[in-house]
Structure 1
Amino acid sequence: MDKLNFLEVIAAIAVFISLLLAVFLLTVKTERKLENRLFAAFLIINAIDISGLFMHYFVDSYNVKTFKISAYLLVMPLFYLYVNAVCYSDFTLRRKHLLHLMPFIVVNLILVPRLYLAEGVAKEYFFKHMWNSPEMFFYQMIAELQYFFYIVGIFMILKKYRKIYLENYTNPNTLLYKWLFQLTIIFLFIHVCIIFKNIIRYTAYKDLFIWIHIVAGASFLLAACWFILKALNYPELFRRIDSTLQLTKEFAEIPENENKTDETKDIQIEQLKNFMVEKEPFLEPSLTIQELAGQVGIPVRELSVLINHHMNQHFFDFVNEYRIKKAMTLLKDPSKKEHTVLEILYEVGFNSKSSFHTSFKKYTHQTPTVFRNS
């Protein structure tokens, strides 16, 4: 099998898996319909893009083939909207989101005179030499600018999501941030391959062009398979946040918080610490800062500033520190020696073995098993 045929096989498998996963996302019963539909649309557009590697076996229309190429401009907008929908529980599609279609529409309008409306020899000539045309240079420039804009936007959303999550939640399931970050890095790698491929297109290195095509196609295929495995192994993966939640630094310096005396802050901190030790609210795995504020009797904004600003800890780390201390006590307790580490981590409020081990090692510089044996 030569390289070109191998590339076509890779592309066909990637298209099949992408469409299969898209059908699953569109038909599965879930409360998270919007993000499933957005990711399904993302997979379908990618499948259409990859299908160009073997489309000539089934489609002869130059219009369809060109429309397929322009569809790539829908990939990043869909992924950007998907990330928003996954991260924020109150995200909905609005009319303003139609603006994301503008690059796709503009490029297709530019192609109308010399391709979509052309006929016969003129259309065939343009299509065969299109990558050297001003229209396609413009298309590639728009595609790169668009990609840069969206990739920066996605990383900004993830950065904000992680900060808000750590300041407001204690459930150690931060897999969402890690998973979306990893997925974005994979797509960034694939895009870098595409950039190199587009550069090499204008050189005589045809074999290298095909090999980069193979790497990009195989990477997308592996990413689709990886997504399926993640979905199967972590069906509870996502915990979204409200987009109206603010970062602590955005309200830490407002007058009502700045006017608090050091003595008042010290009293509140002592009150909070005593409450954590006596009432052990951290044993609740899904404890949020809003719930703790109601229990301890401190307004949620004051509590957020107190922990995240004056105690210089994320709420996430603040609560997990008490969980680790409780776990250390239980691991040293002779009456608990028959209890496994897994049982103890659930008992102290964790619901993830990997998160417990990470937090325990961060606090004690030892694994739970080593600590217990020592």
Structure 2
Amino acid sequence: MTFGQQLLFFFSAVGAFNGLLLGIYLLFIKKLKYLPDFFLGLLLLMLSTRVGISVCMYFYPDLPRIIPHLGLSALFFTGPALYYYIRSSFQQNQFDVRNCRKVFGILTLILGAVGLLYLFFPVTWENYFGTFIYTAWSVFVFITVYQYYIFSKQKIVSHNKFVLPVLLSNVIIFLTYQLISTGWIQVYCAGGSLVFSFVLYANFLILFNKKYHQVAVKETNNRYSNKKISEEQADNFVSRLERLMETEELYKNANLKLSDLASRMNMSAHQLSQLLNDNLGKSFSIYINEYRINEACEKIENGSYLKIEEIGYEVGFNSKSTFFSTFKKIKNTTPLLYKQSQILTEPRFQSSNL
């Protein structure tokens, strides 16, 4: 290779390599407590595999024919991974994991069937295999963009700040590969790999900038952390906090943290903790759990078809035991006894009306 080709190979491959490492980290090394991280890891792993194989095939075209089709097979799952990354980021606790597994299973069977056809009829399927993969990718990208539009129109807020950058990055990569595959724009095959590298590092810069901004805001807030919140300002904060909890039902997020709620309130975690303790006389966990228990009581009183433990998950608890112990602590009774008391009092209420 010439020096120019070596540079092109380096910059094309370095993004694919780093994306591959990040994907492996998110999937296999990091402890997954946040479901969108899994889909982001899968998305990066599949894209990086496709990009890496594209680079190898461009600079080493004599590799076995099966290798580029392995890259196309990896590309097949980037669309579904992006789609479920967006859905899980917005739906959070309401995300249907079982349905997701079923869809991925069906897609795997479809890819396997198409792959077998290619193995048995390589000449016939030489062009159709790539067309099938790119068509499936196109369908999922369009569905994902539409789904993001629906969530935005419904004003559903995601706590994941990287939803839009990841979506835009994938749309750019998708358009680049589509233009290359159709031949509308004559660019190097490695051009898609270069775009992937550029987009990946652009997102790193966005992440670094946001982290730097958060640190700067934290340092600024720490200067005023010891100042007591005035009554007028506290009343305003409490009103905003109650409005936020009631309209967006943030307490239903089982992974909600003090820092997350403080970020939504545009205040430091210390200030929010001070507001809750000094002005409401409650800790963060008690404040959130009271909302959860009150809604659980409403569901029980309204005769919800859900089981007791399902109600706990529905209102934001991540375990049955935590729901039961918190319910007893706040209501001085168990959820089951509370439900039975509602059943016993209902006939009396009806007879008094007669």
Residue in 1 that maps onto 2:90? 87
Query: Distance between the aligned counterparts of 2:136 and 2:14, measured in 1?
Result: 29
How far has the Cα of 1:229 moved from its partner?
Answer: 4.0
Structure 1 residue 287 and structure 2 residue 244: aligned? no
Query: Distance between the aligned counterparts of 2:27 and 2:135, measured in 1?
Result: 33
CA deviations on 1:41-91 (whole Å, 9 max, x unpaired) are: 111100111122244459944344313212212102111212233333315
Query: Distance between the aligned counterparts of 2:187 and 2:50, measured in 1?
Result: 17
1:222 pairs, out of 180, 191, 198, with 198
| Equivalent position amino acid for 1:221 in 2 | S
Residue in 1 that maps onto 2:175? 192
Structure 1 residue 182 and structure 2 residue 158: aligned? no
Could you state the TM-score of these two structures normalised by the residue count of structure 2?
Answer: 0.53
Residue in 1 that maps onto 2:300? none
Residue in 2 that maps onto 1:269? none
How far has the Cα of 1:180 moved from its partner?
Answer: 1.9
Query: Distance between the aligned counterparts of 1:10 and 1:155, measured in 2?
Result: 34
Structure 1 residue 99 and structure 2 residue 103: aligned? yes
| Residues paired across the two proteins, number | 240
Q: How large is the Cα RMSD of the aligned pairs?
A: 4.4
Instruction: Give the 5 Å matches for 1:106-145.
Output: 106-113=110-117, 115-117=118-120, 123=122, 130-131=126-127, 134-145=128-139
Q: Helix, strand or coil for the counterpart of 1:89?
A: helix
Query: Distance between the aligned counterparts of 1:27 and 1:110, measured in 2?
Result: 28
Residue in 2 that maps onto 1:209? 187
- Contact (CA 8 Å) 2:76, 2:134: kept in 1 or not? no
| Equivalent position amino acid for 2:114 in 1 | I
Query: Distance between the aligned counterparts of 1:154 and 1:10, measured in 2?
Result: 32
Instruction: Give the 5 Å matches for 1:195-344.
Output: 195-200=178-183, 208-210=186-188, 213-232=189-208, 234=210, 278=232, 280-283=234-237, 287-289=241-243, 291=245, 300=246
Residue in 2 that maps onto 1:69? 72
CA deviations on 1:110-140 (whole Å, 9 max, x unpaired) are: 3423x3236xxxx4x568xx23xx4444443
Residue in 1 that maps onto 2:222? none
Query: Distance between the aligned counterparts of 2:240 and 2:20, measured in 1?
Result: 35
| Equivalent position amino acid for 1:280 in 2 | A
**Aligned CA distance change for structure 1 residues 141 and 89 (closer, same or farther; 3 Å):** closer
1:148 pairs, out of 142, 146, 151, with 142
Query: Distance between the aligned counterparts of 2:41 and 2:16, measured in 1?
Result: 12
Residue in 2 that maps onto 1:242? none
Residue in 1 that maps onto 2:307? none
The answer for unaligned runs of 5 or more in structure 2 is: 215-229, 250-263, 273-354
Query: Distance between the aligned counterparts of 2:29 and 2:16, measured in 1?
Result: 20
Greater RCO, CA 8 A, separation 6+: 1
Could you state the TM-score of these two structures normalised by the residue count of structure 1?
Answer: 0.51
How far has the Cα of 1:27 moved from its partner?
Answer: 6.0
**Aligned CA distance change for structure 1 residues 116 and 288 (closer, same or farther; 3 Å):** farther
Structure 1 residue 24 and structure 2 residue 25: aligned? yes
Query: Distance between the aligned counterparts of 1:229 and 1:288, measured in 2?
Result: 35
Query: Distance between the aligned counterparts of 1:80 and 1:96, measured in 2?
Result: 13
**Aligned CA distance change for structure 1 residues 85 and 281 (closer, same or farther; 3 Å):** farther
The answer for unaligned runs of 5 or more in structure 1 is: 166-173, 239-275, 292-299, 305-318, 324-344, 351-374
How far has the Cα of 1:199 moved from its partner?
Answer: 1.3
CA deviations on 1:243-286 (whole Å, 9 max, x unpaired) are: xxxxxxxxxxxxxxxxxxxxxxxxxxxxxxxxx98573444699
Residue in 1 that maps onto 2:352? none
| Equivalent position amino acid for 1:49 in 2 | R
- Contact (CA 8 Å) 1:52, 1:68: kept in 2 or not? yes
How far has the Cα of 1:193 moved from its partner?
Answer: 1.5
